[in-house]
Amino acid sequence: MARIDIQEASVSYFLRKQRHPDGSLERGSVGAQIIVGRRYLEITALKNVSLLLKDGDRLGLVGINGSGKSTLLKLCAGALAAQEGKVTIEGRVSPQFALGSGLQQTLTGRQNTELKCLYMGVPQSAIASYIDEVKELSGLGGYFELPMRSYSAGMRSRLVMSLLRLVRGEILIMDEWINVADPSMNTTVSGLQKQLVERAKILMLASHSQRVLEDWVDKLAWLDQGEIQAIGPVKDVFREYNMWMKNR
């Protein structure tokens, strides 16, 4: 059984103060408030957030830039600790928000895939067959054996999308659904995504796209300034969120 239980969690980021004037910094239209301390700046990305997810839950996160979605995903993936509150995560998490990160321009598609296998916890005995599958899915052919710096932007994204094959885990956490630019990759990627979601016990997905969220999740949380403003059926929360956006 998988479970995420967050009780009144708050997360702040602290930055060393550098040549900032005293007093509060100018407030923009996005992001959490920046509190200016004597030596540090504090950004409270999550404030008193409570959330309970169990097997079968498919939760979407929506909110404007800097509202705290990625921070909440990182908290649920165990990649960040809360300064206040309690976080319990039961089940194997597949942090998905960094599929393309860590890839090295100087390494070949094959070498990058091998590195990713190690990072994603693919068992040693399965690595060779996973690499073959990624190669096949990517359709990169000979380019799979060349350094990534020789790839076009589309080739790079083919490799990244094919790495979806490596994702495992009971708790699937995704920051933005992978959008496919090349229609020839469409079926492959949506097939992989569907498989992943079906296999996962819990899905958490942050997205700015209403369509993506309506397709993949059944519950939605709207975050603003690090607080959950509403949580419930996707259509209801979107109605509220869109209304708020219009009147902003």
Ligand X SMILES: Nc1ncnc2c1ncn2[C@@H]1O[C@H](COP(=O)(O)OP(=O)(O)OP(=O)(O)O)[C@@H](O)[C@H]1O
Under rule CB under 6 A, residue 63 binds ligand X? yes
Please identify, using beta-carbon distances, which residue of 67 and 112 lies nearer to ligand X.
Answer: 67
- Rule CB under 6 A: choose which of 2, 51, 59, 69 binds ligand X: 69
CA torsion through residues 83, 6, 79, 208, sign: negative
Under rule CB under 6 A, residue 43 binds ligand X? yes
Please identify, using beta-carbon distances, which residue of 67 and 113 lies nearer to ligand X.
Answer: 67
Give the pairing type, strands 58-62 and 202-206.
Answer: parallel
Under rule CB under 6 A, residue 202 binds ligand X? no
Cβ neighbours for 157, distance < 8 A, ≥ 6 positions apart: 100, 181, 182
- Rule CB under 6 A: choose which of 13, 17, 127, 218 binds ligand X: 13
Site string for ligand X, 113-152 (x = CB under 6 A): ----------------------------------------
Task: Please report, as a single letter, which amino acid is at residue 173.
Answer: I
Report, in Å, the least distance between residue 48 CB and ligand X.
15
Under rule CB under 6 A, residue 85 binds ligand X? no
Residue in 145, 78, 135, 157 with CA at minimum distance from that of residue 108? 145
Cβ neighbours for 178, distance < 8 A, ≥ 6 positions apart: 99, 160, 161, 164, 189, 193
Structural contact between residues 37 and 22, judged by C-beta atoms closer than 8 angstroms: no
Structural contact between residues 134 and 166, judged by C-beta atoms closer than 8 angstroms: yes
- Rule CB under 6 A: choose which of 58, 67, 91, 138 binds ligand X: 67
Task: Please report, as a single letter, which amino acid is at residue 103.
Answer: L
Q: Which stretch binds ligand X (CB under 6 A): 61-69, 96-104, 164-172, 229-237?
A: 61-69
- Rule CB under 6 A: choose which of 24, 50, 65, 242 binds ligand X: 65
Under rule CB under 6 A, residue 32 binds ligand X? yes
| Size, binding site for ligand X by CB under 6 A | 14
- Find where tokens 């933005």 sit: 176
Site residues (vs ligand X, CB under 6 A): 13, 15, 31-32, 43, 45, 63, 65-71
